[in-house]
Structure 1
Amino acid sequence: MLAETICSAVSAAGLGIAAVTAYRKRFLAATRIAAYSLVPVGLVLTGVVEWVSGMVFRPTVWIGFGLLGLAWVLFMTTRAVERRGVGRAEKPPKPAGGAPGREAVAPGASVPSLGTGGRQGAEPAPAAAPADDFSDIEAILKKHGI
């Protein structure tokens, strides 16, 4: 009963503000304010306010929300532990001699394609000086006559 009275008072105040706004020749804003002020009365008439107020003031509802929150915390905790690998079982040991088909197809495939050129043990090229960074651009510009 109290919630319905408060919603009606809020709607009446909103409609009063909308009337003052319309009096000041701001019709678009007045229409928007009137629309917002009719929402609480609409919620009262549809029964949503009674349903919400009945839900808010019952302790069993709050216990249910608490249990839902606890379940969510437990789910998130298990996901975090699982991602860190704490709860994982250890990997089984490899058989002696290695299992066929378990080795990498191309052992050198993890070597980057740029840099060493696929040669293992080759030293990386020395870093170019900052002045040489624009040499490619200069060559392209000269090629086009710029």
Structure 2
Amino acid sequence: MEGTTWAALTAALTVAGAIWTWIAFRRRGAANGLRAMGFTLLPAAAWLTGTLEMVVDIAGSVTDWATSLVFDVRTWAGVGLAGLALVLWVVSGFIRDRQLARAQAGDAAPGRTGRRGSLPEASSTRTGPTSKPAVDDEMADIEALLRKRGIE
């Protein structure tokens, strides 16, 4: 494409972004309007720095690659393995989060012994209130919340 075509594309994208910015300012407020304005300025910045052509070339190369995939068993086996790897990675994250939550719940529950074996919990050995008085009201509130949760 020629320089004029790139300038026209940039102008069209900037005008579309300006309309989006105006709508965002009116409907959603200044924060969303400023965010939209930031996105509106990106095509002009990409054109002025020459990266707009690069982005279009990369998108065209990816599109050519995707459309030229042959229905070859080996290629689709690779795509399937990549999908399976992604699914396994996501599932392992969920399982790890559940294990961490279960371990935290097990450590926080009174009377339960976790991986520590038969060591008594610190909260079960205390019989009276904490020995340190609260410095101010905020600390007293925090200490009350900690005692309520079993953390002393």
Q: TM-score, normalised by structure 1?
A: 0.34
Structure label with greater radius of gyration: 1
Larger helix proportion of the pair: 2
Q: TM-score, normalised by structure 2?
A: 0.33
